[in-house]
């Protein structure tokens, strides 16, 4: 694969640690080691970075918009302090039962992010930690890269993803995926 012009990132489990109980306050937001530096390396390489994230806690009323905004502000500041830049942020605030057009595995947010970054699908990759991330990427025509830094059974997630995308590239975390992007490597 040629070096992409844009990298789309899921948030929870890729940039920051995730929780089965959601990230509900800014003090719960903790970056996965190496993730902020990985985003900075993409920025220095001239690759646009976008965030594409389901945030159903908003739709469920588990978190309010002000708390969500505080988490987002903390993340953006941490990324900037590490030398990174986020070109676009797309998030779905709906609960799964809302059947919206934006929630992954539907491609709405991926397509919005491609447009915001000014790139076509074949010039981008999506890095996520779940099958629905890979399905959204695939539905938009974007290559998906799976990282195993999210919560949950990584082996089960890998197996279900490989049933859908047998040749999916898999990495321990965002830093390793970015190494592969910048070095042009392939992985398992």
Cα separation, 23 vs 10, whole angstroms = 14
Contacts of 34 by beta carbon, 8 Å cutoff, 6+ apart: 173, 174, 175
Cβ atoms within 10 Å, residue 98? 14
Q: Residue 123 to residues 5, 7, 100, 115, 143: CA-CA distances in angstroms?
A: 5, 9, 26, 12, 9
Cβ atoms within 10 Å, residue 156? 10
Cα separation, 66 vs 69, whole angstroms = 5
Q: Which residue numbers are catalytic?
A: 10, 12
Residue 116 structure tokens: 């915001």
Q: Residue 185 to residues 2, 35, 157, 162, 168: CA-CA distances in angstroms?
A: 10, 19, 23, 19, 13
């Amino acid at each position: 694969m040629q070096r992409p012009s844009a990298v789309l990132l899921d948030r929870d489990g890729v940039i920051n640690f995730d929780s089965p109980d959601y990230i509900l306050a800014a003090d719960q937001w903790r970056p996965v080691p190496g993730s902020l530096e990985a985003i900075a390396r993409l920025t220095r390489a001239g690759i646009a970075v976008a965030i594409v994230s389901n945030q159903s806690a908003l739709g469920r009323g588990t978190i309010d918009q002000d708390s969500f905004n505080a988490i987002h502000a903390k993340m953006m500041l941490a990324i900037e302090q590490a030398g990174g830049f986020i070109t676009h942020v797309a998030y779905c605030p709906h609960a799964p039962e809302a059947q919206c057009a934006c929630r992954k595995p539907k491609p709405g947010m991926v397509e919005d992010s491609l447009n915001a970054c000014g790139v076509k699908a074949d010039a981008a990759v999506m890095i996520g930690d779940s099958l629905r991330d890979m399905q959204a990427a695939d539905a938009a025509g974007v290559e998906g890269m799976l990282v195993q830094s999210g919560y949950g059974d990584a082996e089960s997630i890998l197996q279900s993803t490989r049933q859908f995308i047998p040749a999916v590239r898999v990495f321990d975390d965002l830093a390793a995926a970015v190494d592969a992007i910048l070095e042009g490597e392939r992985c398992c």
